[in-house]
Amino acid sequence: MSDRVVLAYSGGLDTSVAIPYLAEHMGAEVIAVAVDVGQGGETGYAGNEMEMIRKRALACGAVESEVIDARDEFATDFCFPAIRANALYMDRYPLLSSLSRPLIVKHLVAAASRHGGTVVSHGCTGKGNDQVRFEVGIGALAPHLKVVAPARDFAWTRDKAIAYAETKGLPIETSKRSPYSIDQNVWGRAVETGFLEDIWNGPIEDVYAYTADPSIPRDADEVVITFDGGVPVALDGETVTPYEAIVALNRRAGAQGVGRIDIVEDRLVGIKSREVYEAPGAIALITAHQELENVTVERDQARFKKSVEQRWGELVYDGLWFSPLKHSLDAFIADTQRHVSGEIRMTLHGGRATVTGRRSDSSLYDFSLATYDEGDLFDQSLAKGFVQLWGLPSRLASARDARLGAN
Ligand code: ARG
């Protein structure tokens, strides 16, 4: 019996070419699985486009083709944990591609068990992080599955892939293909390659699809985001699902040019690469969440959480979503979010999401301690002794240095 290969299918050139290629070179039956994580653009509603992708796989020779609507699952189980972790790799990248890969892996593994697949395939090259995320994830969830990555393992070039698509008469518009490598989902959009590989070249307006030019004058937008336990549950008082929250903020913050990121990034494989991202909803939500934490999370817990956040982001970036350390950090982060409930008011304008107001029943902000006006309950006489004892170790060290003549 021939192998059944479950292919992570995007509808693009590389994964379309992979279908006849795997059939021909491995004598395999290919099952195409496209996972909808909101790659349909800034509104996140892919609908028809995903159906086109499903049919295209069949036209390329897949024996079965499925589209899995994982938009809500992606928002709830992957994007929301990233909000709770304020997850920004290298302090800036909201991990949009990194977050989607473990979810795609889950669905590939499930599809393999449904369809009797023994091999899983993806279209990644050998230079990126995504190959690592796919294969380390599969190894964690289904170690018995083999992996083949035709673009990497058979050393395709773009020209070879196009030539192969032409000889096979595949329904792919290669000429209209953009010069950029793009990966997008509801959490944001990643653009790389083309003229951006010269890191002195500034991005042109053409690169962007989720955000409007922030330098164009327009009226500001104001939004109130309600959080419960560290995640958004309502916008301007209207209850929203996780997916709706992100879609709505992509639209509103995107219209104000919020969330454009241009960065040289450290890949796991050791390369530094230039990436342009746009993630308007993600940046607005993380900014709001960080400020609500400032109001509701105790000081030492908050300081410690910073280092946990950084490590969490690195693990997710490095393809270790299903690792024991990530699991343990999740438990810590979940515990810190118990009181992160309340409302944040933000102005979206000129490429920035700026917090202008916060209120919370679980606030640790005490007006009567903070105020410099009438109603001050802070006992300043306590401060004098506190400051002396706080500085005692420094004074001792400095006296010792003076005694020894050290400086
Ligand atoms: N550099 C980012 C990451 O590793 C984005 C990758 C985008 N993937 C792509 N195939 N264009 O998470």
> Which tens digit of pLDDT belongs to each residue from 71-115?
999 999 999 999 999 999 999 999 999 999 999 999 999 999 999
Joined together, the tokens standing for residue 221 give 């937008």
Among 10, 84, 100, 130, which one carries the catalytic annotation? 130
The answer, yes or no, to whether residue 173 has pLDDT greater than 80, is no
Taking 80 as the threshold, does the pLDDT of residue 289 lie above it?
yes
Q: What is the pLDDT of residue 69?
A: 95
User: Which residue owns the Cα nearest ligand 1 atom 1?
Assistant: 275
Least confident range of 123-127, 171-175, 297-301, 375-379: 171-175
Q: Are 30 and 36 in contact (CB under 8 A)?
A: no
With tokens 């992080």, the residue in question is 129
Nearest ligand 1 atom to the CA of 317 is 12
The pLDDT confidence band at residue 271, using thresholds 50, 70 and 90, is very high
Average pLDDT score over the chain: 94
- Residue at token pair 């006992």: 379
**7 residue type, one letter:** L
- The pair phi, psi for residue 32, each rounded to 5°, is -90, 130
300 flagged as catalytic: no
97 vs 112: CA distance, rounded Å = 22
pLDDT tier, 177 (very low <50, low <70, confident <90, very high otherwise): low
- Reduced to 3 states, what is the DSSP secondary structure of residue 5? strand
Centre of ligand 1 to C-alpha 267, Å, is 9
Residue 28 · residue 118 · CB < 8 Å? no
- Residue 78 is classified by DSSP as I
Q: Which of 146-155, 176-185, 300-309 has the lowest mean pLDDT?
A: 176-185
Ligand 1 environment, Cβ below 6 A = 97-98, 129-130, 181, 183, 190, 192, 265, 275
Reading the block at residue 265, the tokens are 């990034």
Report the alpha-carbon distance of residue 350 to residue 218 in Å, rounded: 8
CA–centroid distance for 356 within its chain: 25
Annotated catalytic residue within 71, 101, 133, 189? 101
Confidence of residue 174 (pLDDT cuts 50, 70, 90): low
pLDDT of residue 198: 95
Q: Which of 183, 268, 271 to mutate to test the pocket of ligand 1 (most atoms within 8 A of CB)?
A: 183
Instruction: Give the pLDDT score at 157.
Output: 84
Give the model's confidence band at 180: pLDDT under 50 very low, under 70 low, under 90 confident, else very high. Answer: confident
First to last CA, the chain: 79
Neighbours of 359 (CB within 10 A): 13
Q: Give mean pLDDT, residues 289-317.
A: 98
Q: Which two tokens stand for residue 238?
A: 């209207």
Say what the pLDDT of residue 43 is. 43
For residues 191, 194, 198, 204, the Cα torsion angle rounded to the nearest 10 degrees is -60
pLDDT digits (tens, 9 = 90+) for 34-54: 999 999 843 444 567 889 999
Distance CA 92, CA 338 (A): 26
What sections of 318-391 are H helices per DSSP?
Answer: 324-336, 367-370, 381-390
**Is the model's pTM score more than 0.85?**
yes
Check if 101 is active-site: yes
Quickly count helices (H) and strands (E) in the chain: 15, 14
| Under 8 Å between Cβ of 356 and 345 | yes
- Given a cut of 90, whether residue 152 has pLDDT beyond it is yes
* Identity of the amino acid at 322: F
- 183 and 279 Cβ atoms separated by less than 8 Å: no
Q: What amino acid is encoded at 252 in this protein?
A: R
Atom of ligand 1 nearest to the CA of 128: 4
Q: Distance between CA atoms of 3 and 23, rounded to whole angstroms?
A: 9
* Pocket perturbation via mutation, ligand 1, pick of 89, 98, 130 by most ligand atoms within 8 A of CB: 130
Give ∠ CA 231-244-240 in degrees, rounded to 5. Answer: 60
Query: How many Cα atoms occupy the beta-carbon half-sphere of 254 within 13 Å?
Result: 23
3-state helix, strand, coil split of the chain in percent (to 5) is 45, 20, 35
Q: In what order do the strands lie in the sheet with 272-278?
A: 181-185, 188-192, 272-278, 260-266
Instruction: Compute the distance between CA of residue 54 and CA of residue 19 in angstroms, rounded to an integer.
Output: 13
Q: What is the distance in A from the centroid of ligand 1 to the CA of 315? A: 15
Is 181 a known active-site residue? yes
Confidence at residue 46, expressed as pLDDT on a 0 to 100 scale:
55
Average pLDDT, stretch 319-339? 98
What pLDDT, on the 0 to 100 scale, is given for residue 214? 98
* DSSP class of 28: P
Residue-level pLDDT at 204: 96
